[in-house]
Structure 1
C-alpha cells in the first residue's frame, strides 16, 4: 500500500504550511483524488490515522473529494466519461481521446480555526 507513504508526505507538507502561516490548529484537511488516480480513497482514509499520529494534524478530520474522469474525443470533440462510456467515443466511436481529468491527487484545502 503506497498510500501511507504519500499521506505521510502530505502531512509533512501541511505541517510546513501551518508553521509558515502560524496556524496552531487545523480542523479539516481536504484532498481531491481523481477517480483514475493510483491513490485509492478508501486506503487513504484507512492509513490517515497512522500518518497523522503525533503530528500537528493528529486531531484533524480528513475529507476526500473524488474528481470524475473525463476524456475528449480527438475526432469529434465530444467530452465523455471513459470509466462508464468505455474507451471509445459514444458519439462517433473513435478510440482516440485525450484525458481531461481524473488522475489528480492534490491538497485542496486546509481548514484551520
Structure 2
C-alpha cells in the first residue's frame, strides 16, 4: 500500500505551506484523485487518521474529489469515460484513444480557520 507514503508526503507539503503562510490550524484538506491514477481513495481515507496523528493536520477533515478518467477517440473525436465504456469509444467502438484526464493526484485546497 503505497498510499501511506504518499499521505506522509502530503502532510509534509501541507505543513510547509502552513508554516510559510503562518497558519496555526487547518480545517479541511481537499485532494483530487483521478479515476485512472494509481491512488485508491478508500486507502487514502483509511490511513489518513493514523498518518496525521500528532501533526498540524490531526483534526483536519479530509475531502476527496474523484476526477473522471476521460479520453478522446482518435477516430471520431468523441470524448468519453474510459471506465464506464470499457476502454472503447461508445460512438464508433474504437480502442484508439488518448487520455485527456483522470491520472491526476493533487492537493486542491487547504482551508484554514
TM over 0.5: yes
**TM-score bracket for this pair, using the shorter chain length:** over 0.9
* In 1: Cα distance, 2:21 partner to 2:104 partner: 25
Q: Which 5+ residue runs of structure 2 have no aligned equivalent?
A: none
Partner of 1:55, secondary structure, is: coil
Q: Which residue of 2 aligns with 1:48?
A: 48
Count of residue pairs the alignment pairs up: 113
Q: Which residue of 2 aligns with 1:72?
A: 72
Partner of 2:83, secondary structure, is: helix
- Give deviations 1:24-65, integer Å, cap 9, x for gaps: 100000000011111111000010011111111111010000
1:104 maps to 2:104: yes
Q: Which residue of 2 aligns with 1:29?
A: 29
* In 1: Cα distance, 2:88 partner to 2:57 partner: 43
Residue 8 (structure 1) shift: 0.4
Q: Which 5+ residue runs of structure 1 have no aligned equivalent?
A: none
Q: TM-score normalised to the size of structure 2?
A: 0.97
- Give deviations 1:63-113, integer Å, cap 9, x for gaps: 000111101001111001110112221111221101111111000000001
RMSD: 0.7
Q: Which residue of 2 aligns with 1:91?
A: 91
Which segment drifts farther, 89-98 or 63-72? 89-98
Q: Which residue of 2 aligns with 1:5?
A: 5
The runs of at least 4 consecutive aligned structure 1 residues that moved more than 6 Å come to none
* In 1: Cα distance, 2:95 partner to 2:41 partner: 28
